Amino acid sequence: MAQKIAYQGEPGANSNIACMQMFPELESVPCASFEDAFELVSSGEAELAMIPIENSIAGRVADIHILLPQSHLQIVGEFFLPIHFDLLGIPGSTIEAATEVHSHIHALGQCRRLIREAGLRPVIAGDTAGSAREVREWNDPTKLSLAPPLAAEIYGLEVLASRVEDDPSNTTRFVVLAREKELPTRDELPGPAVTSFVFRVRNVPSALFKALGGFATNGVNMTRLESYMVGDEFAATMFMVDVEGHPEDLPLRLALEELDFFTTEVRILGVYAAAEFRTAQTVTA
């Protein structure tokens, strides 16, 4: 039986493409929600989940910062996918005859130039690939979809315009989740590594400044820092962090030891190999 990787969205979505590119040997399983994808992994029905965590234009993916720490799954990898959208319609349709374009709100926002120039009315759909499926089902030449290229193949639509996103550098970062296990040692992960964790600071003045100071003084590069509220009293703040390095590396080990002095909770979400995209960007910079 083929091993499975779960993703949120319909067949043809960007998450589906990320699964196929990073794990072509695995069966990609669509899920209606992130929670459903997490549950497939937790229950053992799928070995992995591919979850978008941030986009270079739209920022963080809503709810993931809360759902991920609660899932008790472990980050075991990352993948960066350049995001491309095609304008799709049923066979025989044209841009000139169309009046509406359907897609996820982020896709519509990332293709404003085309929508404006073509004089189309944007209509929000729950999913990019789902909008392609709906356009196929409606069989109406006045309705078009903005969706990833794979959706055209799956739903039998014509590509009326390719790569219509406003910003060609648009990229989404995904994390690969698995059931919890022992974190890999430095010997098991010899190359560039990323450590992801969450922490909560003590309720003392300048706690965050002091908590982060150890990363600066030890020369640890922090690539992501996001805050979010926990509970319902707006009094407790959690921070989700990505840093370069492995916890066994001396600089990061010292920084984490210093972090302990100023926090009430620190939990590592994963230690994993840095994606080639990340290391290439670092070299280019």
Q: What is the pLDDT along the chain (285 residues), one digit of tens a residue?
A: 679 999 999 999 999 999 999 999 999 999 999 999 999 999 999 999 999 999 888 778 878 888 888 888 999 999 999 999 999 999 999 999 999 999 999 899 999 999 999 999 999 998 999 999 999 999 999 999 999 999 999 999 999 999 999 998 999 999 999 999 999 999 999 999 999 999 998 777 788 888 899 999 999 999 999 888 776 655 667 899 999 999 999 999 999 999 998 898 999 999 999 999 887 765 433
Q: Which residues sit opposite 31 in a β-bridge? A: 8
Choice among 128, 172, 195, 263 that is catalytic: 172
Q: What's the Cα-to-Cα distance from 205 to each of 164, 202, 211, 254, rounded to whole Å?
A: 48, 9, 11, 22
174 is catalytic: yes
pTM of the model: 0.91
223-261 in b/e form (b: 16+ CB < 10 A) is eeebeeeeeeeeeebbbbbbbbbbbebebbebbbebbee
Beta strands 222-230; 171-179: pairing state: unpaired
Report the pLDDT value the prediction gives residue 283, as an integer from 0 to 100: 42
Choice among 38, 79, 174, 199 that is catalytic: 174
Alpha carbons 192 and 206: distance in angstroms, whole number:
32
Under 8 Å between Cβ of 241 and 197: yes
Under 8 Å between Cβ of 241 and 261: no
- The region, left, alpha or beta by phi > 0 then psi within -120 to 50, assigned to residue 231 is left
- Alpha-helical segments (H) within the chain: 14-22, 34-42, 64-71, 105-109, 112-118, 128-138, 149-155, 207-217, 250-261, 276-284
Beta strands 48-55; 4-8: pairing state: parallel
Q: Which two tokens stand for residue 91?
A: 């066979």
Under 8 Å between Cβ of 97 and 140: no
